[in-house]
Amino acid sequence: MRMVQIRKPVEEGRVSIKMKKLKQLIILVMTAAMLCGNACIVYATEENNNESNDENDNESSILYATDEEKDHIRGQLNRYYSDLKIIYKIPEENLKRMDKIYNSAMSYMANTTLTLSELMSYEASIEGYLSEIAKENTTSTEKFLMLSNEAPILSVNYGEQTFVVLSLINLGKNDITDVVITPTVSNERTKWPFVIEQAYDAKSIPIIQAANNVEEANNKRMDIGWFFTAREDVLTGCYPLTFHATYYQGGAVVETDITTYVNVKGQDPNKKLIKEEEEEEEEEKQTNPRIIVTGYRTDPETVYAGSTFNLTVSVKNTSKATAVENVLFNLEASVEGSDAQASYAAFLPTSGSSSVYTERIAPGQTYEMSIEMEAKSDLAQKPYVLTVNMKYDTDQQINLSDVAHVSVPVKQEAKLDTSSAELMPETIAVGEESNVMFSVFNTGKTTLYNVKVTYEGDTVESGITYLGNIAPGATGSVDSMVRGIAPDTGNGVVKAVITYEDEAGNESRYEKELNLYVYEMFIEDFPMEDIPMEPMEPEQKGLPMVAMIGIVAGVIVLIIVVIVIIAKVKKAKKHKEDMDLLDEDDA
């Protein structure tokens, strides 16, 4: 009990001390909370003021796209749209929809105030719309000949000369050969930024090798180029330069367009290409019309070297408002060879004149001109370029000109001949073989591919003799074995059939007659009673034949021995007589 009375006051004292400390802690916490609340209110007020000031500053410092940036973005859209029209065969209806979207977008980007990011986003969305429409009901063209992406875009100033290079690669699985490329020029400064100083010749490349990937294709690329001079009145901007290409791939002729770009700086920086194009669309009636070649055909469809053909070229006046008059067309074939006096063209008109005249071509009208031409007999098998030079007048201007090119593939007719055949033997029995040998001569100017020889006839059978490819002027040797399988009932003729292919894989047949007679050997079986029988001689009695032969041989040996002994005796007797004579002489 005493212990309880002592502890109770002590515990009460401790509790009172703890209560005092707890009250002090609560007062400190409340004071800190009040101070913090005031500080947060002050900070929040200052932060709101700062944000309001920043918004005002940002609104005043927004940077919108400059005219140069707009022109650059518009140029990107222009290049993208041009590439779409090259890659895809777009139907006319789809093309009209795309033209409306493209023209509307170009006008919007030129006249609307946007930031650079907004402008780029808008241009990307337009590219998406155009791409979707281009892919509707279309198939992409399979192009093997492409430009290498390692070639930089050129830059040139007005009046300066530049060298435009095409770095060509082959992205196909097969080599392409006889590549012919020509620039597509125009007298309109918005279409062609260079001075037309001449009818530019086509450039050719014998072969561009195939590659397994882009890196290998770039290593095998082939470069060709032209010198061009920029016009004095050229507009500032990025110009697409189109080149028409024709080549052989797998024996077939392929045509495509290749487009590169050049940045041109004009004399007046304010006169820009895109603005000029928009002004021309609005003032179409005041622009110069343009005549373009829309297609051609030949009759017959396949032109062989040394043959005469009718060439029909279709041209169109692309202007929608202006007619062209006094139109003169002059066709010039590429020069392919020369003799001692002068060079000659691949094609020559049969009438002596290569010019065609028409009085008028209405706006949007297509005109067809025809001319009969002859292909030189010694032309190699490849496409040949025919330049169409055009001169014409309008109501306001005279002596306007345009140039276009068409490519006419020429083929060489395959020819072969054979030597006289040698057959050893020329007559065989059924089951026997004869060796056939002769030569095959390629007398044409094109290679004979996959040459094979077989033999046709009811009396013989043979395998296939494969000679492979025979180049122009070369000879293939045939060495075959044919087996007789049936007797000949006719005149003893067997056909040697020679088959070969051209570059397109078309097979031809050549037959050669051989004189080979096949007969059947047999022994006639006669009845025994029909065979005449000779009477049998009676059996002779006496020594057997072997004993008689032995006796004769013994007699012959005995005679020889006697002859030898007599010869030796005579020789000894003569020797003795000679010795006696010598002794008498000594005495």
| 512 and 403 housed in the same domain | no
- Is residue 60's pLDDT more than 70? no
Q: Which of 384, 412, 440 is the C-terminal boundary of a domain?
A: 412
How does strand 433-442 pair with strand 422-424?
Answer: antiparallel
Q: Are residues 29 and 88 in the same domain?
A: no
State the CATH number of the domain containing residue 477: 2.60.40.10
Residue-level pLDDT at 207? 92
CA 557 to CA 550: how far, in whole Å? 11
Q: CA-to-CA distance for 189 and 195, rounded, in angstroms?
A: 9
420 and 356 housed in the same domain: no
What is 33-79 written as a DSSP string? Answer: HHHHHHHHHHHHHHHHHHHHHHHHHHHHT--PPPHHHHHHHHHHHHH
pLDDT tens digits, 415-438: 889 999 898 998 888 888 999 999
**Co-location of 408 and 295 in the same domain:** yes
Structural domain boundaries, residue 2: 1-50
Q: What is the pLDDT of residues 251-260, one digit of tens each?
A: 788 888 888 8
**Can you spell out the DSSP letters for 505-543?**
--EEEEEEEEE-EEE--------GGGS--PPPPPPPPSS
Tell which wins on pLDDT, 567 or 509. Answer: 509
pLDDT at 560: 83
- Please determine, for residue 1, whether its predicted confidence score (pLDDT) is greater than 50: no
pLDDT-based confidence at 12, cuts 50/70/90?
very low
**What tokens were used for 510?**
């050549």
Give backbone dihedrals phi and psi of 486, rounded to 5 degrees, phi first: -155, 145
Q: Residue 423 domain-assigned?
A: yes
Whether residues 364 and 447 share a domain: the answer is no
Q: Are residues 157 and 216 in contact, defined by beta-carbon separation less than 8 angstroms? A: no
Residues 443 and 347 in one domain: no
Query: Of 583, 249, 246, 566, which Cα lies nearest the Cα of 409?
Result: 246
Query: Residues 376, 465: one domain?
Result: no
- Strand 355-361 with 347-349, pairing: unpaired
Instruction: Give tens-digit pLDDT for 496-541.
Output: 999 998 877 788 899 998 888 888 876 555 555 555 555 555 555 5
Confidence check: pLDDT of 150 > 70:
no
- pLDDT the model gives residue 411: 83
H-type helices in 238-374, by residue range? 273-282
Residue 543 lies in a domain: no
Q: Say yes or no: 420 and 509 in one domain.
A: yes
Same domain, 105 and 30: no
- Tell which of 519, 545, 580 closes a domain: 519
3-state SS assignment for residue 450: strand
Half-sphere exposure for 170 (CA within 13 Å, toward CB): 19
260 assigned to some structural domain: no
* Total number of domains constituting the chain: 4
Distance CA 238, CA 265 (A): 9
- Shared domain check, 408 and 460: no
pLDDT greater than 70 at residue 99: yes
Does residue 192 lie within any of the structural domains? Answer: no
174 found inside a domain? no
397 and 422 housed in the same domain:
no
Please choose, from the candidates 238, 235, 284, 265, the residue with its C-alpha nearest in 3D space to the C-alpha of residue 77: 238
Reference 123, options 104, 136, 99; nearest CA is: 104
Domain boundary among 100, 115, 134: 134
Selection from 412, 409, 390 nearest residue 399 by Cα? 390
Q: Above 70 in pLDDT, residue 279?
A: no
The verdict on 311 and 363 lying in the same domain is yes
Q: Encode pLDDT of 201-235 as tens digits.
A: 788 999 999 887 777 888 888 999 888 999 998 98
Q: Among 127-141, 185-199, 460-474, 528-542, which stretch is predicted with the lowest mean pLDDT? A: 528-542
